[in-house]
Amino acid sequence: MAVKIRLQRHGKKNFAFFHIVVADSRSPRDGRYIEEIGSYNPNTNPATIALNFERALAWIKVGAEPTLTARRILSYEGVLLRHHLDGGVAKGALTQEVADKKWNDWKAGRDAKVEAKKTGLKNAAIEARKAAKAEETKVNEARAEALAKKAAELAAAEAAAKAAAEAPAEEAAPAEETPAEA
């Protein structure tokens, strides 16, 4: 029986998440499986991976073959590196202490990269909010300036209209008298 480590699709249309399962290669994609060893959600940034590391490593050691995407996930989580290091210990090329040190160094580096990405995304979001607020402030100031200018023009127009309304009334009275004199 050929055993594969693969993804089983769940979720709704255009918003899928996956279970990482160990299944017979002949079973359907979303069908029967032997064991579920984790989940993968590509909808978050960075993608969320919950993996039972020990069970994944055990299945790799007994010969389960991961699909391409599952291999990338297992590599990202370090299962394949741990398997490689354990093989070196079994052959006598490494001691267990050296293998553990290499594993811990790799794990610390990967965790630092993930945290750097998370903080970078958080900082980028904060900067985007600051830029949007600055742009909004600039637009609001321009609108306030335009409203003040319009109010000043309106006040000037009202004053001119009031002055024009008063001036013709004064001129109209003498004009009526002049035709009477003639």
pTM here? 0.68
CATH number for the domain whose boundaries are 3-93: 3.30.1320.10
Q: Where are the alpha helices (DSSP H) in 23-95?
A: 53-61, 68-77, 79-91
pLDDT for residue 181 is more than 60:
no
- 48-79 residue pLDDT tens: 999 999 999 999 999 999 999 999 999 999 99
* pLDDT for res 140: 92
pLDDT for residue 15 is more than 90:
yes
* pLDDT for res 29: 82
Q: How far apart are CA 3 and CA 24, in angstroms?
A: 5
- pLDDT-derived band at 179 (thresholds 50, 70, 90) equals low
Residue 165 token pair: 């309304």
* pLDDT for res 162: 83
Could you tell me the sign of the dihedral formed by the alpha carbons of 64, 67, 73, 76, in that order? positive
